[in-house]
Amino acid sequence: MGFSIKIKRKGMINMNKKFNYKPLIEYTDYVERKYVKPEKAGDLKEDMELFRKNGQKARKIFTEIAKSVEENVEGFHLQKVSSWMNQAQIARPYLWVFFKQEGDTENESGIALRVFKNEKTKKVGISMEVGFVERKIGKNTLERQNKVLELPIKNPLYYFVQFSKSKENCMLDRIEGSEKNRKKLLEDMKEGNIRKVLVKFNVEEIKKFENLEDLTKEFLKGVRLLMPFYLKTKKI
């Protein structure tokens, strides 16, 4: 099966107006908060109604951003955007979504967007990565995903690595994208010290992009840089 990418300009019209990131940024303050249905929240009814409204607004904004990327990258289709809360009804402000090509199975790697917050600067950004949905992992998912280490890498790309010893707590370490680090990680992989390796591209602060067109163009840079790594995961 062949894979190719063509950047297209569909959807760039009327995207240069000022974009409102505020609901997405503000919802990151809800991290780890427990949501209770307003009708069961007693004195907290109004708070919970606002909680739900803010979560829905944040998801709507993130979906708009993701759709703009989809409209400008040929051959990739937007999957379901994550919910604003998890099954335990805990706020999940670090929204995520995958893009897949026609024929991709659910356990194959794709390209994803993920909201993040820099705990030092408090800036809210969105990362783009070559990765997979953990709960849909298949027999060959990790083997294929970790082929990303076979390609040379440089900044602004970086690795997100889960070492085998961190499997229980799901911790991932950020490692600079350099040839020195790539070779070291290959050695670690051979020794069985690594479970998975993601390749990522960051837009560090979304609000510095005044409009959706400029933000989308930045993500298209990420798509171009990540595409060789995505294609590498397709080789058996």
- What is the separation, in whole angstroms, between the first and last Cα of the chain? 11
Residue that the structure tokens 């989809």 belong to: 70
Q: pLDDT tens digits for 145-167?
A: 999 999 999 999 999 999 987 65
C-alpha span between 204 and 125 (Å, rounded): 5
| Domain ranges for the chain | 22-232
Q: What is the pLDDT of residue 168?
A: 61
Helix 45-71 vs helix 212-232: angle between axes, to the nearest 10 degrees?
70
Q: pLDDT tens digits for 2-44?
A: 444 555 555 444 567 899 999 999 999 999 999 999 999 999 9
Q: What is the pLDDT of residue 14?
A: 56
Q: pLDDT tens digits for 101-137?
A: 998 999 999 999 999 999 999 999 999 999 999 999 9
**Among the ranges given (50-59, 87-96, 157-166, 213-222), the one the predictor scored with the smallest mean pLDDT:** 157-166
Q: Is residue 78 scored above 50 in pLDDT? A: yes
The tokens for 168 are 């229980």
Q: Please compute the mean of the pLDDT values over residues 34-59 and round it to a whole number.
A: 97
